Amino acid sequence: MNVDINYILDLTEELLSIPSPVGYTHLGIARIAEELDKFGIRYEYTKKGAILAFVEGENREYRKMISAHIDTLGAVVRNVKANGRLELTNTGGYAWGSVEGENVLVHTLSGKVYEGTLLPVKASVHTYGDVARELPRIEENMEVRIDEDVKKAEDVLKLGILQGDFVSYETRTRRLANGYIKSRYLDDKLCIAQVFGYLKYLADTASKPKSDLYIYFSNFEEIGHGVSLFPEDLDEFISIDIGLAAADAHGDEKKVNIIAKDSRSPYDFVLRKKLVEAAEAADIPYTVSVNYRYGSDATTAILQGFDFKYACIGPSVDASHHYERTHNDGIIATVDLMIAYL
């Protein structure tokens, strides 16, 4: 369907390079607004700092909405320790072992940014032996070693680092010649790029969606309150979010994933059936999955009591909320399904 995969991947990489841990997403939101301006799409900011855009469709009597979220996993400085290191509290659901040894950036209120590394409080096997190997990787056993000349809390405070400062992790993004892309935070910056890939398809083909289309770029999805403003005339809502490629999830990195149920709710049967039929009619490779510990902006919305059909589709990634990976084929299949259905 003439999906511009290079545009999607380039934009994905650019978005991944912009730190946006949940609660600190203004820079990522600004980049989204810049891209919307390029396409001449009208939009507005919500009071929570998200973006709601609108594209006129052929059918003005039916209204759909899609969403993708700019916020990622991250952390906040919980305490400046006496030894000059930082204790963190995490934002979003990830295991501390998944970020052990990762380089981080500490974002201060003044705008200064400092580099550091997340380590266990007893990291060296030369010093601590088996204790270093066996120490539980839990919040109170992890700390940031700041790459500055700091030995005590007062040294850190002089840098302007305070409790409440946001911390982002290095993404380690790699695009491979065989079509794989791996990075932290493909969830959900890849999906934002896919939404723009869909918008570029509309622009390149001088076409409209089948019906009026709202597009919501949310900024608090990872902690459960991403989309909180819905047009009153909305008929259906599709969250564009990652699927899961794992032994019990039935996802496939080379196919689009249509989610049947997550940990919050089954998805709307009628809408899921339409998505499956659209994929089959267009010969788009897909999987259907039931996800155990998972939620999307769509099921969050339903639990708030909103009344519309709801679904969730996206590219399946391996090792979600860790060092994630997917494939160009699944990226294209997702956009193809957006084109076929929307």
Annotated binding site for Zn(2+): 69, 187, 222, 241
The residue from 35, 221, 236, 253 that is catalytic is 221
List the beta strands (DSSP E) in the chain. Answer: 42-45, 51-55, 59-69, 74-80, 86-91, 103-107, 113-120, 142-146, 166-169, 174-175, 180-183, 211-218, 236-240, 243-245, 256-261, 286-290, 309-318, 324-327
The answer to whether the beta carbons of residues 315 and 171 sit under 8 Å apart is no
Q: With beta carbons less than 8 A apart as the criterion, state whether 243 and 317 touch.
A: yes
Residues 187 and 71: their CA atoms lie apart, in Å, by 9
Q: Are 72 and 222 in contact (CB under 8 A)?
A: yes
129: left (phi over 0), alpha (psi -120 to 50) or beta: left
As given in the structure block, the two tokens for residue 314 are 């996206």
221 is catalytic: yes
Q: Where do runs of H (alpha helix) occur along 233-296? A: 269-281
Task: Give the relative orientation of helices 5-16 and 186-205 as an angle to the nearest 10 degrees.
Answer: 140
Scan for tokens 């459960």, then name that residue: 224
In the annotated binding site, the residues are: 69, 187, 222, 241
Q: Quote the DSSP letter at residue 190.
A: H
Which amino acids are annotated catalytic?
221
